[in-house]
């Protein structure tokens, strides 16, 4: 998501192959867990490029096609950490910015029948979490009302359902079953 020059070409290739883009799921993320003063400028820029700027440029290109066909869905994958989290400041800021981007798109392009929403998928096994310790994963399970980690298939089902709805836009859906009092 940080190769912005390739995004326009990628979107054109997808449209040439499939004719249109009905749904965009913006699901790229990078986190680096450390205190705010320990980030250097390049680390900050990399996280913002992957977690926000790439999403913005992809939306910008995809929206052109969605406006032409007068419909579409954009679903941004953010995080409960968008509300803030210790040792997660840059990640939190980037994910909070996605909410603002999504709500702005909803307001600007609703007249073109384009829905833009955000989901918080909760903790999932992924490349981003593969280095987490077993103890950390157990803590996540214990903090979860359902006493389990979220299932990627359940998140995918929710995304598919949300993409089928024509009357929901500008919303944030929390699929994270942890109760976090911030």
125 φ, ψ (degrees, to nearest 5): -70, 125
Rounded to an integer, what distance in angstroms lies between the CA atom of residue 75 and that of residue 34? 28
- 91 in active site: yes
Closest CA to 11 of 67, 75, 65: 65
Catalytic residue among 56, 91, 109, 161: 91
Rounded to an integer, what distance in angstroms lies between the CA atom of residue 121 and that of residue 57? 22
First CA to last CA distance, the chain: 30
Closest CA to 96 of 39, 159, 51: 51
30 close to 50: Cβ distance less than 8 angstroms: yes
Closest CA to 127 of 104, 107, 152, 108: 152
Query: Which residues are identified as catalytic?
Result: 91
């Amino acid at each position: 998501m940080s190769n912005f020059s390739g995004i326009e070409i990628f979107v054109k290739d997808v449209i040439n192959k499939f004719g249109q883009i009905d749904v965009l799921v913006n699901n790229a993320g990078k986190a680096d867990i450390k205190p705010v003063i320990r980030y250097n400028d390049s680390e900050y820029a990399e996280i913002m490029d992957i977690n926000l700027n790439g999403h913005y440029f992809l939306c910008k290109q995809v929206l052109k096609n969605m406006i032409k066909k007068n419909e579409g869905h954009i679903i941004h994958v953010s995080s409960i950490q968008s509300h803030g989290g210790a040792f997660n400041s840059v990640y939190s800021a980037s994910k909070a910015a996605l909410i603002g981007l999504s709500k702005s798109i909803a307001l600007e392009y609703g007249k073109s029948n384009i829905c833009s929403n955000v989901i918080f998928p909760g903790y999932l096994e992924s490349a981003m979490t593969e280095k987490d310790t077993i103890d950390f994963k157990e803590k996540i399970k214990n903090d979860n009302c359902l006493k389990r980690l979220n299932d990627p298939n359940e998140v995918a089902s929710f995304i598919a359902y949300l993409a089928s709805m024509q009357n929901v836009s500008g919303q944030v859906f929390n699929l994270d079953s942890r109760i976090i009092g911030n």
